[in-house]
Structure 1
Amino acid sequence: MRRTMTTLSTLAVTVMLTGGATALPAHAQEATPSRFTTAVAASSARPPSAAAKSTRGQTLQRARVWLTANRGRQVPYSQAKKWRDGYRQDCSGYASMALGLAKPGPNTVALARTRSLTRPIAISQLKPGDLVIDAIGDSSSRHVVIFEKWNNTAHSSYTAYEQRGSHGTDHRSLTYGLKSGSQFKAHRPVQFGD
């Protein structure tokens, strides 16, 4: 039952993000919780520009979609292609999709420097859905990841979602930005309102 619910949740969010319609088997429709169905219906009724109302939980939920959106596998990385949902298949396109920003999404530099999108915070202040960004260098060295949680009370590593070259979408433990002098900096999406 739990696996069915996870698959249904992923499918429903994928449909919501792509704007498509997918028929679920009758038994699957009956097993879907009404609060999730209501949330998906409300989210899909909003235009993409209404991302200012997105929550941290919704951001992480959207980030999870790309882990299995490619027929059960992660979305492949590409700086030149867009995924079926209209977002670029690079790290900044992935972060933009998770945040519900306009398609195809701003690049990494814009995510870090556009104050209507994010504001700098201390790395120690990271909360779920915040971004850790290296906006220095060129397209082969800039990167952005979506923070999920600290792995320990010492804050020596964290778990994050990322779209990385030669792998695609990933959910793993990272230390970007934790060493003194790192080019990775923490940024809070302004849409969260805190």
Structure 2
Amino acid sequence: MNRIRRWSVPALAATALLGSLTLTAPAVAATGTDTVAQAQDLRAAAPKITRAEEIRRATLWLTADAGKPVPYSQHKNWKDGYRQDCSGYASMALNLPKPAPNTVALKNDGWTKPIKMSELRQGDLVIKANSDDPNHRHVVIFDHWDSGKHSYQAYEQAGHVGTRHTSHSYGLKDGDGYHAYRPVNLAD
């Protein structure tokens, strides 16, 4: 028994339209290829910056709020368009394109490359990104070693205090989760 289906003109038009969209629309990869490509485009747009310029930019937020540090916030952007959290601050100092990468992206998405803590130079980053809780992730901008290399001076954007330049020992104790990274857009 043969059955003949009758299609209405609107149904045929809709089917043809959907078929043409499927053939011409950009494919969205289930593997996250588009996200990787977008990250590569952003990294390519990141201008080269000297370490001295990065540190000059980092110092801007120390007094940018009418002579006071920029306040910390994970939900707000500062007047320059960068997030007021630690990764937004590091991205601003590095002059990375907006929207700036978060702490996990700074570590994992090609913005930085791992180095040894002993290789840290001014402008490198010390990052803790391996936590399921965003409140336990952090990034600081290395400035210089304190005497004895048991601590170092770093710039950071921290909760309850905002932007500051202070001494840290992150990454110097086994198991604290902090590691050293060199930003790839630094022009050495």
Matched letter for residue 65 of structure 2: N
Task: Quote the residue 2:136 is aligned against.
Answer: 141
* Divergent runs of 4+, >6 A: none
Q: What 5-or-longer segments of structure 2 have no aligned partner?
A: 1-42
Task: Quote the residue 2:155 is aligned against.
Answer: 161
Assess if the C-alpha contact under 8 Å between 2:155 and 2:163 holds in 1.
yes
| Partner SS state of residue 191, structure 1 | coil
| Partner SS state of residue 136, structure 2 | coil
Task: Quote the residue 2:51 is aligned against.
Answer: 56
Task: Quote the residue 2:69 is aligned against.
Answer: 74
Task: Quote the residue 1:191 is aligned against.
Answer: 185
- 1:128 has 2:119 as partner: no
- 1:87 has 2:48 as partner: no
Assess if the C-alpha contact under 8 Å between 1:49 and 1:102 holds in 2.
no
| Partner SS state of residue 180, structure 1 | coil
**Structure 1 residue 182: Cα displacement:** 2.0
**Structure 1 residue 51: Cα displacement:** 3.8
Distance in 1, matches of 2:78 and 2:96, equals 15
The count of corresponding residues between Structure 1 and Structure 2 is 145
Distance in 1, matches of 2:109 and 2:187, equals 16
Distance in 1, matches of 2:102 and 2:159, equals 15
Task: Quote the residue 1:25 is aligned against.
Answer: none
Map Cα deviations across residues 123-142 of structure 1 (whole Å, 9 max, x no partner). 11000000000001121100
Mean CA deviation greater in 103-112 or 48-57:
48-57
**Structure 1 residue 87: Cα displacement:** 0.1
Bigger helix fraction: 1
Assess if the C-alpha contact under 8 Å between 2:45 and 2:97 holds in 1.
no
Distance in 2, matches of 1:50 and 1:159, equals 29
Assess if the C-alpha contact under 8 Å between 2:128 and 2:138 holds in 1.
yes
Distance in 1, matches of 2:98 and 2:77, equals 10
Assess if the C-alpha contact under 8 Å between 2:50 and 2:187 holds in 1.
no
Matched letter for residue 131 of structure 1: L
- Alignment counterpart, residue 177 of structure 1, candidates 171, 179, 182: 171
- What RMSD over aligned residues (CA atoms) do the two structures have, in Å? 1.5
Matched letter for residue 169 of structure 1: T
TM-score normalized by the length of structure 2: 0.74
